[in-house]
């Protein structure tokens, strides 16, 4: 894939990000941070690629596996804590 193509993707994504995030209600700014933490764990894809490239057990593989672990921590921790926070914002009549 050419660099220009990737730059196009990046630039347009920044605009999408800008407009989507602008619409987030201030009351949910904390969950916004935890959700964005969780989805930034997508770097796990890179970690999985690097882990798959390892031909033998070496330092690179250790780094990749550590990256899988930490990105996973972001994903699971981030989504779980968002879920917990967002539950608090449920309408009360739903609780009953």
Site size for other proteins (CB under 8 A): 81
Based on the shown chain and the rule CB under 8 A, indicate whether residue 4 belongs to the binding site for other proteins.
Answer: no
Site for other proteins in 53-82 (CB under 8 A): 53-57, 59-61, 63-82
Token pair belonging to 10: 């990046």
User: Least CB distance from residue 62 to other proteins, whole Å?
Assistant: 9
User: Least CB distance from residue 3 to other proteins, whole Å?
Assistant: 8
Based on the shown chain and the rule CB under 8 A, indicate whether residue 20 belongs to the binding site for other proteins.
Answer: yes
User: Least CB distance from residue 96 to other proteins, whole Å?
Assistant: 12
Spatial CB neighbours of 1, under 8 Å, sequence gap ≥ 6: none
CA torsion, points 71, 76, 80, 81, in degrees to nearest 10?
-30
CA torsion, points 49, 52, 57, 60, in degrees to nearest 10?
-20
């Amino acid at each position: 894939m050419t660099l220009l193509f990737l730059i196009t993707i990046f630039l347009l994504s920044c605009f999408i990000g800008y407009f989507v995030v602008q619409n987030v209600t201030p009351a949910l700014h904390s969950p916004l941070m935890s959700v964005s933490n969780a989805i930034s764990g997508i770097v796990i894809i890179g970690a999985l690629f690097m882990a798959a490239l390892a031909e033998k057990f070496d330092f690179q593989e250790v780094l990749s596996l550590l990256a899988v672990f930490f990105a996973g921590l972001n994903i699971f921790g981030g989504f779980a804590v968002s879920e917990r926070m967002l539950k608090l914002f449920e309408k009360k009549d739903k609780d009953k």
